[in-house]
Amino acid sequence: MTNPVTFQTPHTLFLSFYSMYGVYGLILAAAALYGVTLVIYRLYLHPLARFPGPKIAAATGWYEFYHDVIRGGMYIHEIQRMHRKYGPIIRINPYEIVINDPDYYNTVYVASNTRRSEKWYTLQGTGLEGAMGMTMGHELHRRRRKHFDPFFSRLGVTYRKSGRTIQMEHVMAAFTGDIVTKICSEKSPDMIRHPEFGKEWYVTIHTYQLQVHLFVQFPHLIALTQLIPRGLVMQFSPGAAAFKSLHQYAFDHITEAKRDMVRAEKVQHDAGRSSVFRHVLSSDMPEAERETERLAREALQLFGAGTATLVRAFSMIFYHVLSNPPMRARLRDELKGIMAEYPAKRPTWQELERLPYLHGIVREGLRLSYGVMRHLARVSPDQPLQFREWTIPAGTPVGMSSHSLHSDPATFPEPARFLPERWMKGRHHPSMNRNWVPFARGSRMCIGMNLALAEMYWVLAVLFRPGAPQLELFETVEADVVPVRDYVGGTPEFGTKGVRVKVE
């Protein structure tokens, strides 16, 4: 006699599975079912399912994790490979689209009067949540330009013909760090006078930067490490420990600024004297916007951005000018007239900007250091975007990379070469301005752009003027400055030693 076939109901199937594998088996089965369902949804049902790109990138964020965390900031090169294979528009993870077309840049990064544009959480988990950037209406005042003078007196007295080397990244970290903290809080750590300049400041910011991808992939890591003593955090996450130090420094700055506000008889509104935080604390912003923790994250963002990206640009320029005697001689000759009466008479940023060769050097330094190397996605929340035959749904994060635009051989012939002449009359083409985006564009462009440019023109004019201390490269090669890894800002290959100089 044949046994009748019995069909199990979902209830009996559940009980049968539970009796065999227990609660842990059920959890694993549920997780597997969820994972399979999620992958199917992302590959076939998601609004971005029809966009080009590798299936593995569309299915999971672990592909990005592998290239950015395991390989160390290399996803940007994988994205370039994807563009070569799939075309100018690709899906790089389950949520984001990246476009490689210079003509489309101003559509993604628009001014506020064109349409609403929101920032995507590209850097969620980095500890900067809530920081939105503050308006920095301050110009580099004369008393701030004088801040760099002590370095040059030390060059002449301490380092000249001493045989000692100076790492220029530490010098520039001191200078830029002092300036940005001075502007933000009216006080600066005066690192430019320290025996090792801004070495500790630079190392702290750089250490944090090197783990930013880990924090993005595990957004709660920073918050968790804030609860653990710094010494213990240092054992397993130097980047989180670095963030902890920077955060405490920023928090203390805001706390002290608030105390000063209470003690002050009246608020100074003069833009040349008032700090960014004094201005914000005395404004009519909602109380929640002036909360100490939120402003500390603003400070941390300004301190980090005001140091890391500029240090890389300076390193690029120092290497190329110091390794190329004709370039250095041409720059010095151009500065001869305008710096003739220095320090009694100091030219303005606008006057320095009109010097064509100096202007070209600044432009090339920022082009080849990229500013923010990573694609910073923007979201059009209300309306879809049209890219050629592709309709991008509203709410989709879309990004473009300065790395792609700055390395475009159609716009910049021999893009890897440092050629200030390409920006001068007769060789300059409007498409170069279109592709030059180290500070991004639109309503969310870098708020510190004018400050950064002013610092760069002023430092280079003082450093390479006739009569300045003669700097000579020491055991420095081009690989020490070329960005090859994307840690938001570009960084050279691991193990490089930076720009080191001796004073002759």
* Cβ atoms within 10 Å, residue 214: 18
- Quick check: 53 and 91 in contact, CB under 8 A? yes
Amino acid at 394: A
Q: Where are the alpha helices (DSSP H) in 60-162?
A: 62-65, 75-86, 105-108, 142-145, 149-154
Distances (CA, A) of 160 to 148, 165, 193, 341, 437: 17, 10, 16, 23, 38
Biggest CA pair distance of the chain: 113
Q: How many CA atoms lie within 13 A of 455 on its CB side?
A: 27
Under a CB-based contact definition with an 8 Å cutoff, are residues 436 and 367 in contact?
yes
Full strand arrangement of the beta sheet holding 118-119: 89-91, 97-99, 397-399, 378-379, 118-119
Nearest to 387 by CA among 119, 99, 95, 111: 99
The CA R_g of the chain, rounded to the nearest whole Å, is: 26
Residue 446, annotated as binding a ligand? yes
Closest listed residue to residue 503, CA positions, set 147, 145, 171, 144: 171
Per-residue DSSP letter, 383 = S
Beta bridge partners of 500: 167
**360-394 burial: b if 16+ Cβ within 10 Å, else e:** bbbbbbbbbbbbbbbbbbbbbeeeebebeebebee
Cα–Cα dist 380/362, whole Å: 33
The arrangement of strands across the sheet holding 165-167 comes to 165-167, 500-503, 471-473
* 450-484 b/e (C-beta count within 10 Å ≥ 16 → b): bbbbbbbbbbbbbbbbeebbebebbebeeebbbbb
Which token pair is 76? Answer: 């940007």
Q: Is 166 exposed, middle or buried, given 0-12, 13-18 or 19+ CB atoms closer than 10 A? A: buried
* Token pair of 446 as six digits: 């870098």
Which residues are known binding-site members for heme?
A: 446
Which residues are known binding-site members?
A: 446
